[in-house]
Chains A and B, each alone.
Chain A
């Protein structure tokens, strides 16, 4: 991967972090702010996985494997919240 792309990812991360803080100060509706911030955080994580960890250049089998814990965790998160009723 080219250094310029890595620099772009870093720049995006910085902007996303600042955007999260901006959203915190600007949006007063909690659920809206939470949704936007969650999307921003997830996008940063995806950027790091794809570019810094270079998963985008790995074989499909490894990319598939990397999804398995996410799948199980999603089940845990959904059930945890759902069990509150």
Chain B
């Protein structure tokens, strides 16, 4: 293991490397999640078992759910997407390679926080993966807090990744790769990314509020009379239901990608599938979340509306499934391993989908919601369809990744055992519709003991079958026979890349070397220099230490936050914050000194955003997720206000003249920022500097006034510890604080822009950074347009 090998894997920004990092890390987390699942199944295998205590069982259930959903299912799809989406669109890498690496390291940092939570006194979270509030407030200790903060990091990682993939798929398509020619996997990843982009910010908001309750004593979910459970349910499930499709769609994309190669005919109803998914499933996935809340006492009219929406969302899936079936009927099916897993995924999804229709009825939901019927339903959908699809993809692309062929017989045995084990595990749970879930042990009632025993047997068959997959992958990697260039005869670009600048590893017509491409890449790390260099591994290689530095800083900061207000916690927070700021500054300096250069992309197919530059598109996509983030916080605030009978009278807490003055300061800074942009558009660098400086002074003044206001409010008793003010203070300090953090980040960015301005970086023809910063600053302005009246005047 050479130094350069380690350096490469720590500092890589190459999409294939990052894809492999995602892939193997998610497998590691999947292993942890599976061990927890097996512990649960052993506990439930016989009635009145005491293998696990109630607390340990609850912790196992909670962390199994969190780890499997957030650190295994989505990331393993992102691993494949990292590797193959750029190849399928004919790009050399993703749009923002360093942000891609940072997404990975933030994901890992979040996972480390979550796993660390097992090892602190009191153990980890134990209120279920849905972390229902205020139930979860009862889970005392630092462990749950660490897990929550891990979730915040993960959600931040996903948001950055979503922006990156969205811009890449839209902007980096090679000439001729029109949207109509996109492979189905890339299409479905695009749909997944859109759902991620708008769903995860709400999750961030929910976990920030819950973490704030635990760390600094806000009272969002502990105040009586606010209906905190309804607030949590809305925020969590607004994210949670789209998450089902976020997990499911990549698997479906792989199935749709794989089917034509093994039926010998084009996918039936391709357009119908795309329309159904893009125009119905994704938007409607944000309109069905309240079917998870039928039992919470929400009005009957709402139950009816969400019941109809839930039934409606099954229609596009009917279209998709019937198209798959038609492809099978009209084609000549070859039962290779990828096809078997694709077929298995479709069958399991049909079973899961049918049971889901029962749950859309409020009446039936009343019976099933708390039972093992639901456990069966969501595992058939989220594990069956999603994971069988992913495994199909692993077998399908293994020859492309390694240049070698997997063992077909072993693959088929793997399928048979997986399919058998899965159904023995989960089908009995349909028959356990009368057994409550969320209990750690049970009496021997009816067939409960027998059915649970069967499920446990299935769980071990299913788990052990995955050892065959691991063996097959490793064996293929090192000893598999050399694979044909295009073993499945696929027309897709990843197998037939002939884009300009293509290098051997991208060109499937070139016979791979003895160790396969991965082996060759692993020994070719010395070519990954700090500057853009053509690597024999196929694509230009870059190293950057900034992504891992920032993620490490974030990890240390949040670990410190969990231990706040202890001295160790505070120390960790300071160190972490310094590392983050230093690394971001270093990131900027790398740019300034051309230490990390992304070569310009060749002209490609960029419809429907042909006229929007790459960075600007990235900024708009990022800001769109920010809209949902702030909207979620403001939505929570409005809910709390509406639900609370007694609230401080407007004008009695905040000084309206001071707030008005500060609002006008920020509004004016928006105008000066516009003037800065106008100046450089006219090629006047001196004026650019002057207006940027004016904007900076106004922004700093705004923050200064804010700090003075907060100090006065604290001195006047408007603090979290004051029971009469606690909830109002919680809402104010969290929302205004978040806005303040954005303003502060903007001020730091402005310093960097001014430094570049003094060096003459911006010209009449090249000032994209100023334009993009202007978008960010205007957004900060917009948020305040709502924060000021909501908190000061209403």
Q: Give A1-43 as 1s and 0s: 1 = Cβ < 8 Å from B's Cβ atoms.
A: 0010011011001100110110110000010011001101100
Q: Evaluate contact between A83 and B627: CB separation under 8 angstroms.
A: no
- A residues less than 8 Å from B656 (CB atoms): 21, 24
Q: Whose C-beta in chain A lies nearest to the C-beta of B668?
A: A10
Q: Evaluate contact between A53 and B287: CB separation under 8 angstroms.
A: no
Chain B interface size, as a band, is 35 or more
- A residues less than 8 Å from B611 (CB atoms): 58-59
Q: Evaluate contact between A62 and B612: CB separation under 8 angstroms.
A: yes
Known: A10-B671, A44-B785, A73-B628. A83 touches B660 (CB 8 A): no
Q: Evaluate contact between A59 and B608: CB separation under 8 angstroms.
A: yes
Residue B445 is within 8 A (CB to CB) of chain A in the complex: no
Most buried by A among B638, B656, B794: B794
Most buried by A among B625, B639, B643: B639
Q: How far is the CB of B661 from chain A (nearest CB, A)?
A: 10
Q: Evaluate contact between B667 and A76: CB separation under 8 angstroms.
A: no
Q: Evaluate contact between A66 and B608: CB separation under 8 angstroms.
A: no
Residue B650 is within 8 A (CB to CB) of chain A in the complex: yes
- A residues less than 8 Å from B638 (CB atoms): 77, 80-81
Known: A53-B779, A85-B298. A21 touches B290 (CB 8 A): no
- A residues less than 8 Å from B668 (CB atoms): 10
Q: How far is the CB of A8 from chain B (nearest CB, A)?
A: 10
Residue B586 is within 8 A (CB to CB) of chain A in the complex: no
Q: How far is the CB of A70 from chain B (nearest CB, A)?
A: 7
Q: Evaluate contact between B642 and A17: CB separation under 8 angstroms.
A: no
- A residues less than 8 Å from B620 (CB atoms): 62, 65-66
Q: Evaluate contact between B670 and A20: CB separation under 8 angstroms.
A: no
Known: A24-B650, A48-B781, A52-B674. A79 touches B234 (CB 8 A): yes
Residue B540 is within 8 A (CB to CB) of chain A in the complex: no
Residue B132 is within 8 A (CB to CB) of chain A in the complex: no
- A residues less than 8 Å from B621 (CB atoms): 65
Q: How far is the CB of A40 from chain B (nearest CB, A)?
A: 8
- B residues less than 8 Å from A69 (CB atoms): 198, 624-625, 627-628, 631
- B residues less than 8 Å from A33 (CB atoms): 793-794
- A residues less than 8 Å from B287 (CB atoms): 75
- A residues less than 8 Å from B610 (CB atoms): 59
Known: A41-B785, A70-B627. A76 touches B774 (CB 8 A): no
- B residues less than 8 Å from A66 (CB atoms): 620, 624
Residue B663 is within 8 A (CB to CB) of chain A in the complex: yes
Across the A-B interface, the 6 shortest Cβ-Cβ residue pairs? A61-B608, A73-B631, A10-B671, A69-B627, A52-B778, A24-B793
- B residues less than 8 Å from A10 (CB atoms): 667-668, 670-671
Q: Give B590-617 as 1s and 0s: 1 = Cβ < 8 Å from A's Cβ atoms.
A: 0000000000000000001111100001
